[in-house]
Amino acid sequence: MDSSRVRDNPEKNRFEMDIGDALAIAAYRAGPNVFTIYHTEVPRVLEGQGYGSALVRGALDIIRARGLKLAPRCPFVSAFIARHPEYQDLVS
């Protein structure tokens, strides 16, 4: 899955990834140095195909590139980080 398609949409406080005509999102609250991701959503018909992981990976890569930290409040994001310890350093 190509996580480079993930973009930040600060007007809507979410990371987004187009999947054909559909949209996957990771909603957040942005603090001065920390992004709190509290909800991820992939269209139901596309669940289980790796899009959620690609979305989270892309969001975490954006957060890392900005030198910021993450407060994972979404169970999916927390589980992703548990499976991918290379992102553990982002957790505040």
Q: What is the CATH number of the domain that holds 27?
A: 3.40.630.30
If you ran DSSP here, which 8-state letter would residue 50 be given? S
For residue 4, is pLDDT > 80? no
Q: Are 3 and 54 in contact (CB under 8 A)?
A: yes
Question: What pLDDT score was predicted for residue 1?
Answer: 59
Question: What pLDDT score was predicted for residue 35?
Answer: 95
Residues sharing a CB contact under 8 Å with residue 51, sequence separation 6 or more, in sequence order: 1, 17, 19, 24, 42
Mean pLDDT of 71-83: 97
Backbone angles phi, psi at 26, to 5 degrees: -130, 105
pTM: 0.94
| Structure tokens, 56 | 């989270």
The number of distinct structural domains making up the chain is 1
User: Which range marks the domain in which residue 73 is found?
Assistant: 3-90
Q: Tell me the CA distances in angstroms from 20 to 7, 14, 39, 79, 80, one per residue in order.
A: 15, 18, 21, 26, 23
* pLDDT tens-place string over residues 17-65: 999 999 999 999 999 999 999 999 999 989 899 999 999 999 999 999 9
**CB neighbourhood size of 4 (10 A):** 11
Mean pLDDT of 3-23: 93
Mean pLDDT of 65-81: 97
